[in-house]
Structure 1
Amino acid sequence: MNLFRLAGDMSHLLSVCVLLLKIRATKSCRGISLKTQELYALVFVTRYLDLFYSYISLYNSIMKVTFIATAVSIIRYMRFDKVVKQTYDKEQDTFRYAFLVAPCLVLALVLNHRFTFTEVLWTFSIYLEAVAILPQLVLMQRTQNIDNLTANYVALLGAYRGLYIVNWIYRYFTEPHYRQWLVWISGVVQTALYADFFYFYTKAWKHNTRLQLPA
């Protein structure tokens, strides 16, 4: 594992920690999209099925279990905690799952490395992760209710993907047979979705003002 991959993993993990901190400390999930959290849970479950039949390393297994467990924990808070669920912006978080899940599943059935059950699900998770942030970005644009912890959560997710792209570039030049075109294209699409957010995030940070996205 190279430094860029490790930094990307830590950024991803930190984003989840920031989100859990926001929910637990403030007893609020205002500004957080449940749709995005459930999509991420679906991403992790379909991607990490190999936990049951393949062992790579202790680090790898711990990270997979951690991401599944934290995704389920966030959803549990937002759906079942009596105090937290009252702060959920249900009326604004209306992005339809089908518009993301169905195309990703069809694409995974058509474009994959091998047409096997686990490989198709793994490919599906790659495609779905690329667009899973969309409900969150739409919710932030609609409500303009963007506190610092929510903004930092999304920024860390974007940083995770950016660092993974650097990791792929590094591996391309250091590993002769490393080619992952479907992963690379999906990663670039995912990173591009953050471009508008990072422009306004950086602008707000420079001027020490509250983040606002154009409606």
Structure 2
Amino acid sequence: MKANKSPIRAVATWIRRQPPKMKAFLAVLSGMAALLFLTMVVEDHDNLFVAAEAVHALGTCVLIYKLTKEKTCAGISLKSQELTAIFLAVRLYCSFVMEYDIHTLLDSATLGSTLWVIYMIRFKLRSSYMKDKDNFGIHYVVIPCAVLSLLIHPTTSHHLFNRICWAFCVYLEAISVLPQLRLMQNIEIVEPFTAHYVFALGVARFLSCAHWIIQVFDSQGRLLTALGYGLWPSLVLLSEIVQTFILADFCYYYVKSIFGGQLVVRLPSGVV
């Protein structure tokens, strides 16, 4: 007699058999349900943004644990870490000159740990770095973000340079994970600690996106006008959504692997 399938595995099997359009519909429906849940559970929605930054910092701590325990940086994209350090440094500058709060402290901690990861990859564990697989050109990310920030930035009363920096870090953060996803696509099998780190980024991005969407609805759209006028408010929200969808596919395979009892995440070709 065959053992009964667990409900979770049965649902996963059913989802896997659905056509792409149905999977996309289910993903949107799940996202809306999660947003509704957070709206009811979290009283102060500003805490979602703090939680997002805390989860990001926690994910970086997972990388540090991997580097110190396993003495290898295989599977980690140096380019993604460098892009992360760039947008965190710019955002930290903006925090100091524009608005000093709890986010400044969290960004400082995350930047410090990210710089430590970069140091370890570049110098201490250089022999295990997959340079040939980490082949995403960061100039394809930095230059468009810089140009876009010059064209579209906040229209607040702050100095023009600071407003451009603010826009640059928002745009760069949205796509800074692309080199890491490209590396994982090249190797197709992602070991546990790296998978935990990328999943943490996905959770952080979803919480941040949820914060903005819920705040827009709570303020009946007034939040967008408070950010300025023109295309900037829409691009802020779009950047949050883009970050979430970039990592959504990987998070699906991560959860699938965890429930399947696998220690590694296996990515089909062309997933990211």
Does TM, scored on the shorter chain, surpass 0.5?
Answer: yes
Partner of 1:74: 117
Closer/same/farther in 2, CA of residues 208 and 97 from structure 1, 3 Å limit: same
Q: Shift of residue 97 of structure 1?
A: 1.0
Contact kept? 2:74, 2:128, Cα under 8 Å: yes
Q: Shift of residue 60 of structure 1?
A: 2.8
Asked if 1:161 is matched to 2:205, the reply is: yes
Q: How far apart are the structure 2 equivalents of 1:55 and 1:100?
A: 27
Q: Shift of residue 54 of structure 1?
A: 4.4
Asked if 1:97 is matched to 2:142, the reply is: no
Letter in 1 for 2:267: L
Partner of 2:41: none
Q: Shift of residue 181 of structure 1?
A: 2.4
Count residues with an aligned counterpart: 212
- Over the aligned positions, Cα root-mean-square deviation in angstroms equals 1.7
Percent identity over paired residues: 34
TM-score by length of structure 2 reads 0.73
Closer/same/farther in 2, CA of residues 149 and 10 from structure 1, 3 Å limit: same
Letter in 2 for 1:130: A
Letter in 2 for 1:188: I
Partner of 1:201: 254
Partner of 1:213: 267
TM-score by length of structure 1 reads 0.91
Partner of 1:192: 245
4+ long deviations beyond 6 Å: none
Bigger relative contact order, structure 1 or 2, given CA contacts below 8 A and separation 6+?
A: 1
Q: How far apart are the structure 2 equivalents of 1:7 and 1:52?
A: 20
Closer/same/farther in 2, CA of residues 24 and 156 from structure 1, 3 Å limit: same
* Structure 1 residues not aligned, in runs of 5+: none
Asked if 1:65 is matched to 2:108, the reply is: yes
Q: What does residue range 137-156 of structure 1 map to in structure 2 within 5 Å?
A: 137-156=181-200
Given candidates 107, 118, 125, the residue that maps to 2:148 is 107
